[in-house]
């Protein structure tokens, strides 16, 4: 099989709180299983063929970074949404999670358009939501760290990633965290999220392999004792 292509959106502008660690986790878990990977980075102004992507990842950034990438992301919006419809797995954290919704309105009233993959909108809040977070999801209990002032509201038909056990999540009041569309996952969990949540990392890899091969595949199990110990330790930390 050809290498699994991991596409990293705007690594220079959207990379906070260890987000690149998600790329490292995906590559390492593939390497342990003998799966070759290739990392493509998409930078501002560059042309890119998203039909080559097997996994798409984007991280968080400052409002200024979001403003910079929003126009470029809109240019790729049709191609990215087409990939999502085909079942290509994606993970979007914080800033790019917000821009995969319809819009992000900053605290200064600036409207930054998103690509509308998620039925959601985000507005800047007066208070930052910071701390450790636990979320019950179909991928198990997810452990991470959140640091955002954006308040994301999901439309009534938009599926959330999970239910907040500890922390604020999308808006600090709904009890919802993140959003899901097919194999696309949006979340506020930094940390990075994948090293401490191997079941979520393996979901993305398995979905990518199945999409690439056109058949359902199972992954060889790995010894996740260290990853699960890290998650358990993080879950006991105070908010």
- Active centre residues (catalytic): 94, 190
Q: How many of the other CB atoms lie within 10 Å of CB of 224?
A: 16
Side-chain-facing half-sphere of 164: CA atoms under 13 Å? 23
Can you list the positions of beta strands (E) in the chain? 4-9, 37-42, 55-58, 90-93, 103-105, 111-113, 120-137, 140-154, 162-166, 176-177, 179-181, 184-187
Ranges assigned E (strand) in 14-119: 37-42, 55-58, 90-93, 103-105, 111-113
For 53, phi and psi rounded to 5 degrees?
-75, 135
SS3 151: strand
Question: Nearest CA to 90 among 118, 49, 61?
Answer: 118
């Amino acid at each position: 099989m050809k290498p699994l292509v991991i596409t990293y959106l705007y690594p220079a502008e959207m990379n906070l709180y260890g987000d690149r660690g998600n790329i490292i986790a995906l590559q390492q878990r593939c390497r342990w299983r003998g799966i070759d990977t290739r990392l493509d980075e998409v930078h501002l102004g560059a042309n890119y063929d998203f039909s080559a992507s097997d996994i798409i990842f984007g991280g968080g950034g400052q409002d200024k970074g979001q403003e910079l990438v929003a126009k470029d992301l809109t240019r790729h919006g049709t191609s990215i949404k087409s990939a999502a419809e085909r079942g290509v797995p994606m993970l979007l954290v914080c800033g790019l999670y917000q821009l995969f919704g319809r819009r992000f309105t900053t605290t200064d009233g600036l409207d930054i358009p998103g690509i509308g993959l998620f039925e959601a909108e985000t507005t800047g809040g007066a208070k930052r939501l910071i701390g450790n977070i636990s979320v019950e999801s179909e991928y198990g209990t997810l452990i991470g760290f959140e640091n955002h002032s954006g308040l994301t509201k999901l439309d009534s038909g938009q599926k959330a990633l999970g239910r907040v056990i500890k922390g604020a999540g999308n808006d600090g009041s709904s009890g919802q965290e993140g959003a899901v569309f097919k194999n696309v996952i949006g979340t506020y969990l930094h940390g990075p999220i994948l090293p401490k949540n191997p079941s979520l990392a393996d979901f993305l890899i398995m979905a990518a392999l199945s999409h690439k091969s056109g058949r359902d595949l199972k992954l060889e199990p790995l010894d996740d004792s260290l990853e699960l110990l890290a998650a358990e330790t993080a879950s006991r930390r105070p908010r």
